[in-house]
A and B are shown apart, each in its own frame.
Chain A
Amino acid sequence: MDLNYSADELAFRDEVRAFLNENLSPTLSEKVRLGKRLSKTDHEEWHATLNKRGWLAINWPVEHGGTGWNAVYRHIFEEELCLAHAPRTVPFGLSMLAPVLMKFGSKAQQDYFLPRILDGTDWWCQGYSEPQAGSDLASLKTRAVRDGDHYVVNGQKTWTTLGQHADWIFCLVRTDAEVKAQEGISFLLIDMKMPGVTVRPITLIDGGQEVNEVFFEDVRVPVANLVGEENKGWTYAKYLLTHERTNIAGVGFSTAGLAHLKEICTKQMSGGKPLLENPYFAGRIAQIEIDLMAMATTNLRMIAKAAAGQAPGAESSMLKIKGTEIRQAINDLTRRAVGRYAMPFVSEALDSGANAQGVGPDYACAASPGYFNNRKLSIFGGSNEIQRNIISKAILGL
């Protein structure tokens, strides 16, 4: 065994660090570090910066304009970005739709959409969840009825992340209601500017509006926008979901979050001393750091397997559960660390570029909203309960 990166991998890491040094603006990284909400422009600028360097599509093959990196390189890259407090790239086009199009889309769809994802022309969002179909995805009800060269779509999607910025949405729609739930589903690409599409933001308990409801009322979608075959959408959706999910463990987020937490604890006082010297609080942080050290290795073990061509499969469910538990625990302690200043809530102060002032130290404003916002981690992407079901079946054979 050798727990160290190879010389090549270390050189690559230095290259990434140098790139971030030169290209990630301190203003932007400060916003990320302090947990502010990023604007559409923030996202677009970062997307363009990465694309210019050729480091945007880190999970795409080279022939489509991706980096062709293996799992270890992707891991190093993502970790460095997190540690530098770079914005997260919006994954819907890049790492969700693109792999599906590459595997199941028509040549025309690939040629048209993939370059537009790279150059930022199209912002994609995901239309999977519905009010009555969350983790039980197959029970979705949005209907697409064939009418000549078009599908007529009616229904509602929800929890559509950053849908307010999106130009396109990839949707699972029901094209056959007579068959078994999984069999009558199709995968459809819908232009958000079409008549009949309405987006309504949902305000969450942290005051932010990152998710939306999307309504479809007699939206006429050209048949050319069907991906693959009609009624085979479930296969593509599963491919998307089980397609090797990069960074699912979020080790970089946790590492950066833990460093941020410790820094807060050197500034916050408790009994006349920095909070980090309070044995009980320090013990709670230590416990999480210990868990994170082990999970970083668990993550690398799975990555090494993936890099060696063994698909991670259900093991990504383990990473999702443990990774989100650790991130939530860090959020919890960060909220506790700021003490009374966990209470003031000036939502506008969290908006990127806003003039509103928060109350208390700058790092305190996002502490409680961040805690509440990240309750989502154990809910989305298949709740942690669903992940446990997967582990029980796929790994334990129960």
Chain B
Amino acid sequence: MDFNHSEERRMLQETLHRYLSDNYDSEQRSASVSQGQGYSEKVWSDFAELGVIGVLFAEADGGFGGGGFDIAVVFEELGRVACVEPLMASGVMAGHLLSALGNDEQKALIEEVIAGDLKIVSALEEPQSRYDLDAVETMAERIDDGYRLNGTKSVVIGGPSADKLIVSARGEEGLLLFVVDADAAGVERYSYPNLDGYHASDIALVNVEVPASARLGASQVVLPILEAARAAGVVALCAEAVGAMEAAKDLTVEYLRVRTQFGRALGKFQALQHRMSTVLIEIEQARSALINVAGHLSAEPSLRDKHVSAAKNLIGRVAQLVCEETIQLHGGIGMTEEYALGHYAKRLMMIDHQLGDVDYHLERFVGVMQTEAVREIS
């Protein structure tokens, strides 16, 4: 057993930490939020230069990481500053899909992603799919030399700044994935900011014609690979949540130390101390769940997904606790847009709505648990 990060990861973490402390203050954050596309070109190219995008990819793809803990260290730091640059959208899931399914030409795109020159975002979920990656109504109809796509993708984070999209669609051959130019004819993006400052798009595909070569993983069953990509995305989200929780906790502890009421510091009231220590214990649990899921990202799928669902469920619950308790412990100040706590709180709650919420993952976990129990006992 070893719960320490490798030397390289620690260095990357420190570099990113320093960069974000120096460059990603609340002013920079609101600048990114207020951009129509929801990100800063400068920050993005800095990320590329620092190797932050490259570490999300394996060496075979031109990166220098790609493992669960590589993703975790990056996103924990991003979470700590409530960063809204769409690194998860572009780097983690779409990157995983390209890497796992792409032909040479498609894989070559990864190099541009790592360099920060190209953003590819996966657009998988739909208005009625409710976190289910297999519930796809978008249609892929065969035409002479390719496919015609029709359908709608919902709340695609990073959608506004995407150069290319990876969309799922149902065709004669089953569930299919396509790499589509974001400004191709028939791709209609309706973009907006999310509650947490990230920017997203609803994307309508209206008779979008793509060549057969746009199909990703031409001869493969894609659902298991979508699940693997989601697992990587869950690691990123869980890490981001842990970073945000730590930051929210630190802010709150500091506040409890300095704010006085009835003649003494708030932190001297036992009722508040106990609530705060519960928050602390649960954040340790969240960190353990993150370590579990990051450590099992390359495990066989059923074990991996058990940890995916366990982590996403636990972190969803803890995130809500941290959000609600830290606001409560702050009082009115915690509710103001000006004060940073709200950014963490909002992000923590929105993470639950990405890649499956607490209930969705509880149900999935139950499925795994029942199968295991029957196997063990029989």
Taking Cβ atoms with an 8 Å cutoff, the residues of A that contact B are: 1-6, 9, 72, 259, 262-263, 265-266, 276-277, 279, 282-283, 285-287, 289-291, 293-298, 300-301, 304, 318, 321-322, 385, 387-389, 391-392, 395-398
Q: Interface size class for chain B?
A: 35 or more
The reply to whether the CB of B285 lies closer than 8 angstroms to some CB of chain A is yes
Indicate which residue in A5, A276, A282, A398 contacts B257 across the interface (CB closer than 8 Å): A398
Give the complex CA separation of A392 and B363 in angstroms: 35
Give the complex CA separation of A285 and B5 in angstroms: 33
Indicate which residue in A5, A72, A391 contacts B280 across the interface (CB closer than 8 Å): A391
CB distance from B291 to the nearest CB of A (A): 6
Give the complex CA separation of A322 and B69 in angstroms: 25
Asked if residues A388 and B373 are in contact (CB atoms below 8 Å), the reply is: no
Asked if residues B314 and A290 are in contact (CB atoms below 8 Å), the reply is: yes
Contact with A along B255-287 (1 / 0, CB 8 A): 011000000010110101110111011001111
Give the complex CA separation of A293 and B372 in angstroms: 15
The reply to whether the CB of B302 lies closer than 8 angstroms to some CB of chain A is no
Q: Main SS of chain A's interface residues?
A: helix
Indicate which residue in A6, A262, A297, A392 contacts B273 across the interface (CB closer than 8 Å): A392
Shortest Cβ distance from A282 into B: residue: B366
Contact partners of A397 in chain B: CB under 8 A:
253, 257
Asked if residues A283 and B366 are in contact (CB atoms below 8 Å), the reply is: yes
Contact partners of A293 in chain B: CB under 8 A:
289, 292, 307, 310
Contact partners of A300 in chain B: CB under 8 A:
1, 3
Q: Main SS of chain B's interface residues?
A: helix
Give the complex CA separation of A294 and B287 in angstroms: 8
Contact partners of B218 in chain A: CB under 8 A:
none
Asked if residues B362 and A286 are in contact (CB atoms below 8 Å), the reply is: yes
Contact with A along B294-307 (1 / 0, CB 8 A): 11100000000001
What are 29 A-B contacts defined by CB distance under 8 Å? A1-B2, A1-B5, A3-B291, A3-B295, A277-B370, A282-B369, A283-B362, A289-B310, A290-B309, A293-B289, A293-B292, A297-B289, A298-B284, A298-B288, A301-B291, A304-B2, A304-B3, A322-B284, A389-B270, A391-B277, A392-B270, A395-B280, A396-B273, A396-B277, A397-B253, A398-B253, A398-B265, A398-B272, A398-B273
Given contacts A3-B291, A283-B363, A290-B310, whether A322 and B285 have CB atoms under 8 Å apart is yes
Asked if residues A6 and B253 are in contact (CB atoms below 8 Å), the reply is: no
Give the complex CA separation of A49 and B262 in angstroms: 60
CB distance from B295 to the nearest CB of A (A): 4
How many A-B residue pairs lie within 8 Å, measured between CB atoms? 140
Give the complex CA separation of A287 and B365 in angstroms: 9
Asked if residues A263 and B377 are in contact (CB atoms below 8 Å), the reply is: yes
Contact partners of B309 in chain A: CB under 8 A:
290
Most chain B C-beta atoms within 10 Å of own C-beta, residue among A1, A259, A262, A388: A1
Contact partners of A276 in chain B: CB under 8 A:
370, 373-374
CB distance from B5 to the nearest CB of A (A): 6
CB distance from B288 to the nearest CB of A (A): 4
The reply to whether the CB of B376 lies closer than 8 angstroms to some CB of chain A is yes
Given contacts A3-B292, A322-B281, A396-B276, whether A294 and B286 have CB atoms under 8 Å apart is yes
Shortest Cβ distance from A5 into B: residue: B1
Asked if residues A318 and B284 are in contact (CB atoms below 8 Å), the reply is: yes
CB distance from B297 to the nearest CB of A (A): 11
The reply to whether the CB of B313 lies closer than 8 angstroms to some CB of chain A is yes
Contact partners of A277 in chain B: CB under 8 A:
370
Given contacts A1-B3, A388-B273, whether A290 and B288 have CB atoms under 8 Å apart is no
The reply to whether the CB of B219 lies closer than 8 angstroms to some CB of chain A is no
Asked if residues B3 and A301 are in contact (CB atoms below 8 Å), the reply is: yes
